[in-house]
Structure 1
Protein backbone atom coordinates (compact mmCIF):
# COMPACT_ATOMS: atom_id res chain seq x y z
CA UNK A 1 0.00 0.00 0.00
CA UNK A 2 1.37 3.43 -1.01
CA UNK A 3 1.60 6.08 1.69
CA UNK A 4 0.46 9.60 0.77
CA UNK A 5 2.11 12.75 2.08
CA UNK A 6 -0.75 14.91 3.43
CA UNK A 7 1.51 18.00 3.53
CA UNK A 8 1.82 18.11 -0.27
CA UNK A 9 -0.28 20.66 -2.17
CA UNK A 10 -1.47 19.77 -5.66
CA UNK A 11 -1.79 22.94 -7.76
CA UNK A 12 -3.43 22.89 -11.18
CA UNK A 13 -2.62 25.47 -13.85
CA UNK A 14 -4.89 25.72 -16.88
CA UNK A 15 -3.41 26.61 -20.28
CA UNK A 16 -5.29 29.91 -20.31
CA UNK A 17 -3.95 30.99 -16.91
CA UNK A 18 -0.45 29.69 -17.75
CA UNK A 19 -0.25 32.17 -20.65
CA UNK A 20 -0.36 35.02 -18.15
CA UNK A 21 -1.58 38.59 -18.55
CA UNK A 22 0.80 41.49 -19.29
CA UNK A 23 0.50 44.47 -16.97
CA UNK A 24 2.59 47.64 -16.72
CA UNK A 25 0.69 49.33 -13.90
CA UNK A 26 -0.76 48.12 -10.62
CA UNK A 27 -3.12 50.09 -8.41
CA UNK A 28 -3.55 48.92 -4.82
CA UNK A 29 -6.43 49.85 -2.54
CA UNK A 30 -7.38 48.45 0.83
CA UNK A 31 -10.03 48.33 3.50
CA UNK A 32 -9.79 46.99 7.04
CA UNK A 33 -10.37 43.44 5.79
CA UNK A 34 -8.82 43.19 2.32
CA UNK A 35 -6.27 44.46 -0.18
CA UNK A 36 -7.33 44.82 -3.82
CA UNK A 37 -4.63 44.80 -6.49
CA UNK A 38 -5.75 45.84 -9.98
CA UNK A 39 -3.30 44.96 -12.75
CA UNK A 40 -3.65 47.35 -15.70
CA UNK A 41 -2.22 47.48 -19.22
CA UNK A 42 -1.52 50.99 -20.53
CA UNK A 43 -0.52 51.60 -24.13
CA UNK A 44 1.32 54.68 -25.46
CA UNK A 45 -0.96 57.33 -26.94
CA UNK A 46 -4.12 55.65 -25.66
CA UNK A 47 -5.84 57.69 -22.93
CA UNK A 48 -7.93 54.75 -21.72
CA UNK A 49 -6.54 51.70 -19.91
CA UNK A 50 -8.25 48.48 -18.87
CA UNK A 51 -7.94 46.47 -15.69
CA UNK A 52 -6.73 43.09 -16.94
CA UNK A 53 -6.83 41.25 -13.62
CA UNK A 54 -7.96 41.91 -10.06
CA UNK A 55 -6.56 40.02 -7.08
CA UNK A 56 -8.19 40.33 -3.65
CA UNK A 57 -6.08 39.38 -0.61
CA UNK A 58 -6.49 39.32 3.14
CA UNK A 59 -4.09 41.69 4.95
CA UNK A 60 -2.05 38.68 6.14
CA UNK A 61 -1.70 37.30 2.61
CA UNK A 62 -0.83 40.78 1.28
CA UNK A 63 2.04 40.92 3.77
CA UNK A 64 3.13 37.39 2.81
CA UNK A 65 3.14 38.49 -0.85
CA UNK A 66 5.26 41.53 0.03
CA UNK A 67 7.78 39.30 1.84
CA UNK A 68 7.88 36.82 -1.06
CA UNK A 69 8.38 39.63 -3.61
CA UNK A 70 11.20 41.16 -1.55
CA UNK A 71 12.90 37.76 -1.29
CA UNK A 72 12.56 37.11 -5.02
CA UNK A 73 13.76 40.61 -5.98
CA UNK A 74 16.83 40.14 -3.73
CA UNK A 75 17.59 36.83 -5.47
CA UNK A 76 17.04 38.35 -8.93
CA UNK A 77 19.32 41.31 -8.19
CA UNK A 78 22.02 39.02 -6.76
CA UNK A 79 22.04 37.09 -10.05
CA UNK A 80 21.36 39.93 -12.54
CA UNK A 81 22.34 43.24 -10.95
CA UNK A 82 20.32 45.99 -9.36
CA UNK A 83 16.96 46.88 -10.89
CA UNK A 84 16.82 50.58 -11.70
CA UNK A 85 13.55 52.47 -11.66
CA UNK A 86 12.74 55.60 -13.62
CA UNK A 87 10.66 58.27 -11.98
CA UNK A 88 7.16 58.36 -13.44
CA UNK A 89 5.05 61.52 -13.54
CA UNK A 90 2.24 61.57 -10.99
CA UNK A 91 -0.52 61.73 -13.63
CA UNK A 92 0.11 58.10 -14.75
CA UNK A 93 1.22 59.04 -18.28
CA UNK A 94 3.81 56.45 -19.16
CA UNK A 95 7.03 57.20 -20.99
CA UNK A 96 7.81 54.25 -23.23
CA UNK A 97 11.33 55.54 -23.88
CA UNK A 98 10.93 56.93 -27.39
CA UNK A 99 9.97 60.19 -29.02
CA UNK A 100 6.26 60.81 -29.48
CA UNK A 101 5.09 59.40 -32.80
CA UNK A 102 8.21 57.29 -33.30
CA UNK A 103 7.58 53.78 -34.54
Structure 2
Protein backbone atom coordinates (compact mmCIF):
# COMPACT_ATOMS: atom_id res chain seq x y z
CA UNK A 1 0.00 0.00 0.00
CA UNK A 2 1.18 3.54 -0.59
CA UNK A 3 1.99 6.27 1.92
CA UNK A 4 3.23 3.75 4.49
CA UNK A 5 -0.31 2.58 5.29
CA UNK A 6 -0.78 -0.94 6.60
CA UNK A 7 -3.31 -3.25 5.01
CA UNK A 8 -6.15 -4.25 7.32
CA UNK A 9 -7.33 -7.84 7.04
CA UNK A 10 -11.10 -7.94 7.52
CA UNK A 11 -12.78 -11.19 8.53
CA UNK A 12 -16.09 -11.82 6.76
CA UNK A 13 -18.17 -14.17 8.95
CA UNK A 14 -19.92 -16.98 7.04
CA UNK A 15 -23.35 -16.00 8.41
CA UNK A 16 -23.07 -12.51 6.84
CA UNK A 17 -21.83 -13.49 3.39
CA UNK A 18 -25.33 -13.92 1.95
CA UNK A 19 -26.32 -10.38 2.92
CA UNK A 20 -29.75 -9.19 4.02
CA UNK A 21 -32.40 -7.82 1.66
CA UNK A 22 -34.13 -4.57 2.59
CA UNK A 23 -36.77 -2.67 0.64
CA UNK A 24 -37.12 0.30 3.00
CA UNK A 25 -35.05 2.29 5.47
CA UNK A 26 -35.75 4.62 8.38
CA UNK A 27 -33.04 7.06 9.46
CA UNK A 28 -32.94 8.88 12.79
CA UNK A 29 -30.20 10.66 14.67
CA UNK A 30 -29.00 12.13 17.92
CA UNK A 31 -26.21 14.67 18.29
CA UNK A 32 -23.68 11.84 18.54
CA UNK A 33 -24.90 9.18 16.08
CA UNK A 34 -27.01 8.29 13.06
CA UNK A 35 -29.25 5.22 13.26
CA UNK A 36 -30.26 3.42 10.07
CA UNK A 37 -32.93 0.75 10.37
CA UNK A 38 -33.14 -1.42 7.26
CA UNK A 39 -36.62 -2.91 6.86
CA UNK A 40 -38.38 -5.59 4.86
CA UNK A 41 -41.91 -4.27 4.38
CA UNK A 42 -44.72 -6.34 2.88
CA UNK A 43 -48.03 -4.63 3.71
CA UNK A 44 -49.59 -4.68 6.20
CA UNK A 45 -46.47 -5.50 8.23
CA UNK A 46 -42.71 -5.30 8.17
CA UNK A 47 -39.60 -6.33 10.07
CA UNK A 48 -36.32 -4.66 10.92
CA UNK A 49 -33.67 -6.71 9.15
CA UNK A 50 -30.64 -4.78 10.39
CA UNK A 51 -29.77 -1.69 12.44
CA UNK A 52 -26.56 0.22 11.74
CA UNK A 53 -25.36 2.98 14.08
CA UNK A 54 -22.55 5.30 12.98
CA UNK A 55 -20.96 8.62 13.93
CA UNK A 56 -21.89 11.85 12.08
CA UNK A 57 -18.45 11.90 10.44
CA UNK A 58 -18.82 8.33 9.22
CA UNK A 59 -22.31 8.96 7.78
CA UNK A 60 -20.82 11.74 5.63
CA UNK A 61 -18.21 9.29 4.32
CA UNK A 62 -20.98 6.74 3.63
CA UNK A 63 -23.01 9.35 1.70
CA UNK A 64 -19.92 10.37 -0.32
CA UNK A 65 -19.16 6.72 -1.16
CA UNK A 66 -22.78 6.10 -2.17
CA UNK A 67 -22.88 9.23 -4.35
CA UNK A 68 -19.65 8.18 -6.07
CA UNK A 69 -20.95 4.68 -6.72
CA UNK A 70 -24.36 5.89 -7.93
CA UNK A 71 -22.58 8.13 -10.45
CA UNK A 72 -20.48 5.17 -11.66
CA UNK A 73 -23.56 2.93 -11.87
CA UNK A 74 -25.55 5.51 -13.84
CA UNK A 75 -22.67 6.12 -16.24
CA UNK A 76 -22.67 2.39 -17.03
CA UNK A 77 -26.39 1.53 -16.90
CA UNK A 78 -28.29 4.81 -17.22
CA UNK A 79 -30.19 6.90 -14.73
CA UNK A 80 -31.81 5.08 -11.83
CA UNK A 81 -35.58 5.53 -11.97
CA UNK A 82 -37.23 6.11 -8.61
CA UNK A 83 -40.49 4.35 -7.84
CA UNK A 84 -43.26 6.05 -5.91
CA UNK A 85 -42.75 6.38 -2.16
CA UNK A 86 -44.98 4.13 -0.02
CA UNK A 87 -47.97 6.04 1.32
CA UNK A 88 -48.15 4.26 4.69
CA UNK A 89 -46.46 5.56 7.84
CA UNK A 90 -43.97 3.23 9.48
CA UNK A 91 -44.22 2.79 13.23
CA UNK A 92 -42.17 0.60 15.55
CA UNK A 93 -43.42 -1.56 18.41
SS of 1:68's equivalent in the other structure is helix
Give unmatched runs, 5+ long, in structure 1. Answer: 94-103
Q: Which residue of 2 aligns with 1:34?
A: 33
SS of 1:62's equivalent in the other structure is helix
How far residue 89 of structure 1 moved from its aligned partner, in angstroms, is: 3.9
RMSD over equivalenced CA pairs, Å: 1.7
Deviation >4 Å, runs of 4+: none
Take 1:59 and 1:52, find their aligned partners in 2: how far apart are those partners?
22
Does residue 1:91 correspond to 2:77, yes or no?
no
Larger strand percent: 2
Please report the TM-score for the alignment, with normalisation by the length of structure 1.
0.78
Q: How many residues align?
A: 87
- Which structure's CA Rg is the greater one? 1
Please report the TM-score for the alignment, with normalisation by the length of structure 2.
0.85
